Amino acid sequence: MSRIPTSQEPIVMVIDFHHARGPEIELCIGQDGTDPAAENDWSLLPFMALSDGAHMSTEEFSYFTLRRKETATEPATSLFGISCSRQFDSSLLIYRPSDVTRSTVQKAVVVVTDSPQSLGQLREKLSIVTSAWFAQRDFSDIDILKKFRENLVINVQSEGSKDQNLGRAEKCFSLARDASAYA
């Protein structure tokens, strides 16, 4: 019996470039109680999201795919990621953690979604959110990232409602057309 995949709620992550360990996942904002990176072995995600040479530009975007593993209720499927990388002069930070030892801080904000159709619009939103998060000068304040994810989830749910309504309208149109053929 085949299983129909359900919509994957968007995941927002932060990738940090640690001076000694390289790129690593610093934060994951997803469904409560889950760690999709560990559950799906996304060990290469930090390297795809914070690409080599990203420090050479003010803002850099990366696009990549990830595999969500099969579970008891869901088949394996592809997910799509987009990241926006920026760097910041660490002397301007309001809160500077002790492990920030270099003159710049480099991070990427990542969105993982199951819909590649929305990546163009998502790129613009991600750029604005990343810029605003960096402008706070305090990376411990993640409220803007949480609200961004909440907004993405609402958008996915409203798109699902539109698709459902469109499906109902098409079905009604089809039934009306069939009924008129017999009239």
3-state secondary structure of 107: strand
In a domain, 143, yes or no: yes
In a domain, 156, yes or no: yes
Q: How far apart are CA 130 and CA 79, in angstroms?
A: 21
Q: Is this prediction's pTM over 0.85? A: no
87 φ, ψ (degrees, to nearest 5): -130, 160
In a domain, 150, yes or no: yes
For residue range 43-96, list pLDDT tens digits in order: 999 999 997 766 677 899 999 999 999 989 889 999 999 999 999 888 888 878
In a domain, 1, yes or no: no
Q: How far, in whole angstroms, is CA 49 from its chain's centroid? A: 11
3-state secondary structure of 68: strand
State the residue range of the domain holding 50: 11-180
In a domain, 45, yes or no: yes
Distances, alpha carbon 6 to alpha carbons 73, 91, 151, in Å: 9, 45, 19
